[in-house]
Structures are given as C-alpha cells and as structure tokens.
A and B are shown apart, each in its own frame.
Chain A
Amino acid sequence: MDYTPHTEEEIQAMLERVGAGSLEDLYRHLPQEILNPEISLPEPLPEWAVLEELRRLAGKNQPAFKAFLGGGVRSHHTPPVVQALASRGEFLTAYTPYQPEVSQGVLQATFEYQTMVAELAGLEVANASMYDGASALAEGVLLALRETGRMRVLVSQGVHPEYRQVLRSYLEAVGAELFTLPLEGGRTPLGEVPEGTGAVVAQHPNYLGALEDLAPWVERAHGAGALFVVVADPLSLGVLEPPGAYGADIAVGDGQSLGLPMGFGGPHFGYLATRKAFVRQVPGRLVSETVDAEGKRGYILTLQAREQYIRRAKAKSNITTNAQLTALMGAMYLAALGPLGLKEVALRGVAMAHRLWELLLEIPGVEPFTPKPFFNEFALRLPKDPHAVREALAARGFHAATPVPREYGENLALFAATELHQEEDLLALKEAMWEVLA
C-alpha cells in the first residue's frame, strides 16, 4: 500500500490558507544553511570495505564488564536456543496481537508460558505477562483490592523501593491507602494487620536479598480478611518454596532473571499468578486451551470481555498489551533448562554470592548488612560513599556496588553474583574493591 502524506493539491491548498506562495516562501525565515545544508560524505565504498570500517569502529567499544550489580536486574546467561527461537518471524511482532489475527502458535506458546509460571508460583492461574515486575505488583495489589472490596494496603519496606513508588502511583489514582512496614535487621518483623486491610505485600527474597519468613504473615493477613501478595524473583523459585505453598494468594515479579539480557533495564516482562477463584479479577490477557466444534485442541484468548478495548472505563485494568516476546523468551528459557536446570542455575548463583560475601568481608572497613540466609544478592556497609565506590569500580572495569537508598541505612551497597561468575571474577572484584576502599 502506498503511503502518500499529502498530494500536490493539498499542499497548494494549505499554502494558500496561510498566505504563502510556495514552500520556499513558507520557509523563507529559516537560515539558508539549515534549509540546504552541505553534507560532507566520504566517497562511496564497496560493501566489503564498509563492513571493514564498521568492524574497526565497533572495536573501539569497551569490552563488556562482568556485572555484579544487584537491585532487581542481574546478569544471566541466555542460552543460544532462546535467542534463535525468539528471533523467528512467527514470534516477532511490534505490537500485541488481538484475537482475530493472533496465530494458534503464539497462543499455544503463551499458554505454555502461563502454565510454567503457574507451576513455579504454586498457584493455579497466570496471565500472559505484564510489562515488568513493578507494574505486575501494582496490578496484583489492585486485584486484591477488587476482590476484597477494601482500600488499605500494607507493604514491606523489603519490597524494591522503585516497585513501591510505582505501587504508590497506582494506588493514589484509585484512592487507596498505602502503609509501609519498616524492616528490622534486614527483614520484615511480624506485625498486626489492621482491620480494613485488603492486601499485605512482601518481597521474598527481599530487596536486600534476605529470605523472609512469610508463612506467619500470610496467616495474619488471612485472619484479617486480607490477601497476601508476594514479589518473588522467578529464578529463586527454582530452589525456594513456591508462594502458593506458604499460602500467598498472588505472586508477581520480574522475568529478567529467566535468561533475559539486562538491556539497560528493559524490555523485561512481569509475571502475575493467582488462585483460580480470582480469575475474573486478573488483569491483562489470558490464553486458555479448549476444543473446537470438531473436538480438535485449540487455544483462545479468554476473559477478554473485562478488558479495556471492550469494556472501556469499566475494565479491570488499563492493560491489554503484554510483554509477549520477552515472556516467551522466559518460557523458552524455562523449557530449555527444565526444573533441574533452573535449580542448578539458582544454586550456582547462591554459592557464588555467598563466596563473594566472604571475600568482600575480608576487606578492612566492610561490614555485613543483609542477614543470612540470603539468595544471590546481599547488601554491605562500605567505609566510603557507595556512589563514589561504584564510579571507581567502573573505572577499573567492574559494574558493582549498587548504592542502596538512604531509607535502609547509610553507605549501603548491593552486590549480586550469578551462574555467570567464576572464582577468579570474585577475586578480581575483591582486589579492585580493596584498592578503591584503601
């Protein structure tokens, strides 16, 4: 189809309307060097020479640093099979396909994604994904408020501070109240759940990497008629108890840890899983398996009628789009690794992080902060400003020491290790840290 912005006639009509005789006339007030700039391009080159030149330029890039950054985004290995499958044209789309045009293959892949997420979370239903962990959390809490008909939320300070900001924005818009439960010693102390609370929210492992003991919290929340929402790193669910097993009603989190590139903070995907009883309140898209008139298996977008493009102002959420491709990458990653592979990857991260913790604590002035047990990430108290430490480490070729916001304490920095790290990487970081802190 031709794309014709405007015809000669239309241009003439517009010029007449504004009283300009011609386009040159219309732009007369602009300096000549802007209207007709001289572009100095080199002489044309053969294709092989252009490629050679591009390779030379690319060689000027700094080699990728090993990243020890924590705080919700960590460096992981993406198996080549995931990249190969995800780059197939059948999956690539610039937008979210709706029912009339979405293919059975995409629907089936999404259904498999949902099934894997539900299994990881130990819950019955998962949607087709959200934008990221923070939006998944906000939607999960709104789900709990719709279900309970209440407008009060308790959120642990152990929930990622940026996620809490997103949550606050969403809740302000609907007029709900948000109360923060401060951490004590790096964990969420068990407290009361006041009357009228619709949702209690915690993160496990929490923002500082520490494992929370949530079963008693879940019991208190349920005793007060509130639902329990858990933010959980899906990779951690390869080794930790699934949220459904300790009674959580809604599990959410960011899918980046399932082999997605860090990508300067995105695109990632958020997952959202819950109990079947709440399926009517689930935001976003949901793919179901069914049979057609001839009894053949097929897949279908279901429960669409609550969505914004059909129900408008009365929709359950304003999200009908989801992070289709990145969510499918997460599913491909899970399928490639299998449950045992996921466990291995998670355990290797745990082992490397604990080794790193030991090594860094040998540096004079460095103190532990995150209590054990922790997962693949921990906070340390540094003898210097963490922002300066991070800069100095970057100058030495290390991405490490994510500064922790002051609300958690002074001079705290997060460190993470994953399956990508080797003993020599940890030793190299320790050496650099020693120099920087000396």
Chain B
Amino acid sequence: MDIPKDRFYTKTHEWALPEGDTVLVGITDYAQDALGDVVYVELPEVGRKVEKGEAVAVVESVKTASDIYAPVSGEVVEVNAALEKTPELINQDPYGEGWILRIRPLDMGHLDDLLDAAGYQEVLEREG
C-alpha cells in the first residue's frame, strides 16, 4: 500500500499536503482500494468554512458512500472539478490527479496534530 512521506494523514484515511499557505486534501490509496470503483464525488462549495473533523465531501462508489472529513479547520478555496466528469481519478491516482479539495487552514500549525506516514502505516496495521 502506497503511503507517500511528503504529507500528513488522518485516522479516517484522508491525506493533507501543505502547499504554500494552503493544504491539498484527498483520500489514501488504502481508502480508494477499500471503496472500490468511485462513481461520484460530491464536492463542497468554494468559500465554505469547515471545522477539523467536519464532513466536507462525499465519495460514492458502486457499493457505498463515505464522508470525507476536513483534516484541518479553515476555508475551502478550491475543489477538483475534474472529479465531476472523471471520479475514477481517485482510484487511478489518489495522491495526485485524484485530489479532492484545497483548504486554507486557520493555522498551518494544526497539521502537526495529524499523523505522519509512519503513524498512518501503524493505523493501517492495527486495522489490518
């Protein structure tokens, strides 16, 4: 299972990649694999204020639908519009083209509360 070391993770299988004063958010390789074929992504409105842990998007596969939780508090500044037409990007490239949204956090320091790659690896092993 691919777990890049350049970003942070949540126990609920989101990743957060800091870029300047914003954070790119997506779901992990493990999560996309567990969901199966993603058929739809419900994206939030740009400008929405979110609290850490709040459901901010929905990823729908053939069998199930999962809420995506904001890894940090802040404002949604961009969403990946490509997912509306090609939701399968999440399956194909979960850490790249399959990103979901971009948040400008209230405080970049909040990222320190998240897991690093090793910590997330441990979570997966425990869920095993």
Contact = CB atoms under 8 A, between A and B. Distances in A.
Interface of A: 280, 302, 304-306, 310-311, 314
Given A305-B60, A306-B60, A280 B65 contact: no
A314 B65 CA distance: 10
Nearest to A279: B40
B61 interface: yes
Contacts of B65: 305-306, 310-311, 314
A311 B58 CA distance: 11
A280 B87 CA distance: 14
B40 A310 contact: no
Contacts of A302: 62
A280 B64 contact: no
Contacts of B61: 305
Contacts of A314: 65
B85 interface: no
A302 B40 CA distance: 12
A304 B63 CA distance: 7
Contacts of B42: 280
Contacts of A305: 39-40, 60-65
Given A305-B40, A306-B65, 7 more contacts: A305-B39, A305-B60, A305-B61, A305-B62, A305-B64, A310-B63, A314-B65
Task: Determine the interface band of chain B, counting residues with CB < 8 A from chain A.
Answer: under 10
A14 B35 CA distance: 47
Interface in B29-49: 39-40, 42
Interface of B: 39-40, 42, 60-65
Nearest to B42: A280
Nearest to A99: B63
A305 B61 CA distance: 7
A280 B65 CA distance: 13
Contacts of A311: 65
B34 to A, nearest CB: 14
B45 to A, nearest CB: 10
A304 B61 CA distance: 9
Contacts of A280: 40, 42
A72 B63 CA distance: 38
B85 to A, nearest CB: 13
Nearest to A311: B65
B82 to A, nearest CB: 17
A21 B101 CA distance: 70
Contacts of A306: 60, 65
17 contacts: A280-B40, A280-B42, A304-B62, A304-B63, A305-B39, A305-B40, A305-B60, A305-B61, A305-B62, A305-B63, A305-B64, A305-B65, A306-B65, A310-B63, A310-B64, A310-B65, A311-B65
- Interchain residue pairs A-B with the least CB separation, the first 5: A305-B65, A305-B60, A311-B65, A305-B64, A310-B64
B86 to A, nearest CB: 16
Nearest to A301: B62
Contacts of B62: 302, 304-305
Nearest to B65: A305
B4 to A, nearest CB: 28
Contacts of B40: 280, 305
A304 B62 CA distance: 7
A305 B37 CA distance: 12
Contacts of B39: 305
Nearest to A315: B65
Nearest to B35: A305
A280 B40 CA distance: 9
Contacts of B60: 305-306
Nearest to B60: A305
A109 to B, nearest CB: 21
A13 B6 CA distance: 64
B87 to A, nearest CB: 12
Contacts of B64: 305, 310
Contacts of A310: 63-65
B24 to A, nearest CB: 25
B32 to A, nearest CB: 15
Nearest to B67: A314
Contacts of A304: 62-63
A102 B62 CA distance: 16
A333 to B, nearest CB: 32
A158 B63 CA distance: 41
A311 B42 CA distance: 14
A310 B39 CA distance: 15
A420 B40 CA distance: 48
A302 B63 CA distance: 9
B65 to A, nearest CB: 4
Contacts of B63: 304-305, 310
A307 to B, nearest CB: 9
